[in-house]
Amino acid sequence: MTPWLVWTGALAATLVLAAWCTPRAWWRRPNLRALAVVAGGTLGFGLLFSTLLPAAPVPVAAAAPAAGARYRVVDDLNLRADRGVRAARMRVLPAGTIVRTTGATDGDWWRVRVEGSDVEGWASSLWLRRTDERH
């Protein structure tokens, strides 16, 4: 369950129970006692709900590409001398170019070699698709 849903439910449960279990006079105007009831109840219910309800699954990061895997460039893509947008641009690969991975990665940046040539550099993997994948 998502954290915002847990804490929203905790706040709702606190407000409902406070309305039923505390004197109406406490809520006529804001005061420290009312704030303490709401904050303490929300914290208590939030911690209770967090331990009782199953946690949301954590997405697993995609595995790094195997060396030699073929990818197609989706849109014109800058091939860079190093990883990062501030690295020197070596050339622009037009959409449809096929590249092979070398296996070296750094986050979204993959070292690739243009198929059929010796040109090698770093490219953002966000602009690459497997050759068997539809666009």
Whether 59 is covered by a domain: the verdict is no
Residues 14, 46, single domain; the answer is yes
Q: For position 50, what pLDDT does the model report? A: 86
Residues 86, 120, single domain; the answer is yes
- We report the CATH number of the domain holding residue 99 as 2.30.30.40
> Taking the model in full, what pTM does it have?
0.54
For residues 65 and 108, the answer to whether their CB atoms sit within 8 Å is no
Whether 64 is covered by a domain: the verdict is no
Whether 22 is covered by a domain: the verdict is yes
Which residue range is the domain that position 82 belongs to?
Answer: 70-130
Provide the b/e sequence for 33-46 (b: ≥16 CB within 10 Å): eeeebeeebbeebb
Residues 123, 74, single domain; the answer is yes
Residue 84 tokens read as 């990062």
pLDDT in tens, the chain (135 residues): 578 888 899 999 999 998 898 888 877 888 888 889 999 999 999 999 888 877 666 565 556 788 899 999 999 999 999 999 999 999 999 999 999 999 999 989 999 999 999 999 999 999 999 988 775
Residues 41, 85, single domain; the answer is no
Residues 82, 125, single domain; the answer is yes
* Total domains in the fold of the chain: 2
